[in-house]
Amino acid sequence: MFIILCHLGCGILLFTGLGLPAALWALFLYVVRMLATTAIYHRLIAHGSYQAPRLVWWLGSLLAASAGQMGPSWWKAHHQQHHRHVDSSNDPHTPLLPRAGWQGFWRSQAGWLLGESFHPQSLPADIEADPVLRLIDRLHVLPPLALAWLSWWLGGAQWLGAFCLSTTVLYHAVASVNSVAHLFGEQPFATGDASRNNGWVALLTLGEGWHNLHHAFQGSVRQGITIRRGAVRLLPDPTFRFIRLLQHLGWASRLRQPSERALLARSAS
């Protein structure tokens, strides 16, 4: 419902226009909340690709929830199901089943949230055991409403429209990892699924589009890696840079990365 409302809320900008301050607000909200989704929800909470103090988990979850990405238990539950059953009938958002083509694309981009697969099969025990994360999960609707109100308070209808635009684009960028990055792009690693490295998706999601590497090495804190002419090559990965920044500040540790030997052993060629 919240994401649908944000789509409709973009219409506000047709009446107010989008000035530079409001556009910068939209961009700021996009980058901060995308990093919370990719660095905290995905690489930290879902995959434990590095370790961080509890405060990072909590603040990151509040920010990711404010983007309409739901709570940490819901997010991790669905993501684990995706990896466990990737591109099979139990994958909640594969673009390939039960039908491929446009119907599959629509299902993976948005349709899966409108059916039974919206409800996770089970919730992750580690997140449920943390009372703060559990509270954020159950009250996940409050952070986006608070941020919408803050936008309105700061700059009126135009800034509320900028919030809606930022949230709508962010939603589709994250969803494109599920849809586009399982349909279009390179497969430098042998994963046995349809995951692909897609540079456009990586640009929009600050590094999450290198999805074939991610399916080959789910615990890797860096996703921007490929194989070219038999050698390991690094690709732009702003989320990884952000986590390295957290590490310099003492807020991230024990970053996990596959060895060159392991990377070459999974090469598809």
Helices (H), the chain: 2-9, 12-16, 20-35, 54-65, 72-84, 101-109, 125-128, 131-138, 142-178, 199-204, 211-216, 238-248, 260-265
Of 166 and 195, which has the nearer Cβ to Zn ion? 195
Q: Which two tokens stand for residue 132?
A: 């703060």
Of 112-120, 144-152, 162-170, 195-203: span binding Zn ion (CB under 5 A) = 195-203
Query: The tokens of 179 are what?
Result: 């849809």
The span from the CA of 240 to the CA of 143, in Å, is: 25
For Zn ion, what does the binding mask look like between residues 151 and 190, x meaning CB under 5 A?
----------------------------------------
Smallest gap from residue 132 Cβ to Zn ion (A)? 23
Give me 249's structure tokens: 């500040």
Question: Quick one: 66 or 195, whose CB is closer to Zn ion?
Answer: 195
Q: Quick one: CA torsion of 242, 31, 60, 121, rounded to 10 degrees? A: -110
Residue type (1 letter), 184: F
Number of residues that bind Zn ion (CB under 5 A): 1
Piece of the chain touching Zn ion by CB under 5 A; list 63-71, 105-113, 124-132, 194-202: 194-202
Please say which residue, 84 or 138, places its beta carbon nearer to Zn ion: 84
Which residue's CB is nearer to Zn ion, number 13 or number 40?
40
Give the interface with Zn ion as residue ranges (CB under 5 A): 195
